[in-house]
Amino acid sequence: MTSLTRRTLMGGCAAGTLLAVAGSTGARAATRTTASSTASDDAALQAAISDLSHPPATSAQLRVDRRGDGWYGTAGTADIDSGRPVRPDDQFRAGSVTKAFVATVVLQLWAEGRVELDAPIGRYVPDLLPAAFARRITVAQLLHHTSGLPDHRGIPDDSTPEAVLRHRWDRWTPRQWVETVTHDPLKFAPGTKQEYRGINYVLLALLIEKLTAHPYGQAIASRILYPLGLTRTLLPGQDPRLHGPHVHGYLRMTDGSLRDVTVYNQSSAWGEGELVSTLDDLFRFQHALFSGALLPPHALDKLFTLPPDSVRMLDGSPARYSLGLQTATVNGMTFWGKTGETAGYRTRMFATRDLGLRFILSYTPTPLTTQEEMTNRVVAALTA
């Protein structure tokens, strides 16, 4: 996640009231891999992504699989200047979907006996946090967002689209970013509450670097990207540009003008949200992760295990983050996966645990903050 999403981001995908499907505009032809679904199913999915007014967006693409019955559809354009349609191998910024890749590598290292989940983070990276934090916060508490780390201090204002544009060239190191959460006491005793915080995964990425003696992006590449053939997925580091075919992201300024925010230095997001990927690559990663191709069974179970019932979100609602994923139940169907947000981009990657129903949604909203209208429409169509 980049700085604009650090304020209060979002919990489970598609939780709460599902919205009615609105009218459609800018739809492109959809494709499917089997003929078992009805035309009405296809029409509902296409309508769900084709309303590019709720929320305002320049493009959307959705890939769905129902036990081998695949569907793909798009709406809008990858680039408003050229009018080019979106393609499933176009790169986009996937935001906090990064965390699912980081968590996978940490769980691989745990399965290999190279790290203990219940050990304090200070055992492995002793010089990052104040001693009182380092000896109390465990690796597992970072993974499922129960660390209690304090809020950031001294980070740029990102409350307006103009501010986001001003700071998109800022360059941060991970250690500089960690330092911004070291000035106040812990917000709560580690392990007692849950609060979604991107900084937890910056620390986990630094843990990966300590344990592997390689940059965390290189560890993800060697353990996930190369084995799965995810050739269009990368961790860009200080490179602010997308190279090759990609979807552009835009922000609506307060004066009503639309600005392209595709070029953006993601160094402040780093291990919490810098991933660049494609719909095709994320679909392949999702299947490999849930099917056990990346983790042994005892490690895979960690992705589908929430903290004890006594652990609640700060607002008192039930915990919804496991050691790497988040969960939401809609119309009696429980999904697991990850959301991702950064300026001009939204990604939703969710599936049932048995992969009986899964989807990847990527769209490019233009407001700085948006409601879950499109996600709700998609999930309503899938679970009706």
Segment 108-127, tens digit of pLDDT? 999 999 999 999 999 999 99
Q: Which helix (H) or strand (E) holds 340?
A: strand 333-342
CB-based contact 347:360 (threshold 8 Å): yes
Please give the order of strands across the beta sheet that includes 357-365: 31-32, 69-76, 57-66, 357-365, 345-351, 333-342, 326-330
CB-based contact 246:90 (threshold 8 Å): yes
Give CA–CA dist 223/110, Å, rounded. Answer: 14
User: For the whole model, what pTM was predicted?
Assistant: 0.92
Under the banding of pLDDT at 50, 70 and 90, the label for residue 9 is: very low
Mean pLDDT of 261-278: 97
Quickly list DSSP for 217-252: HHHHIIIIIHHHT-TT-B--TT-----SSB---EEE
Tokens 């937890």 correspond to what residue? 200
| Residue 92 reports pLDDT greater than 50 | yes
Distances (CA, A) of 380 to 9, 39, 360: 22, 16, 15
Segment 204-235, tens digit of pLDDT? 999 999 999 999 999 999 999 999 999 999 99
Say what the alpha-carbon torsion angle 380, 287, 338, 57 is, to the nearest 10 degrees.
-60
Segment 183-194, tens digit of pLDDT? 999 999 999 999
Q: In this prediction, what percent of the chain has a pLDDT beyond 70?
A: 91
| Helix-then-strand count for the chain, H and E | 12, 13
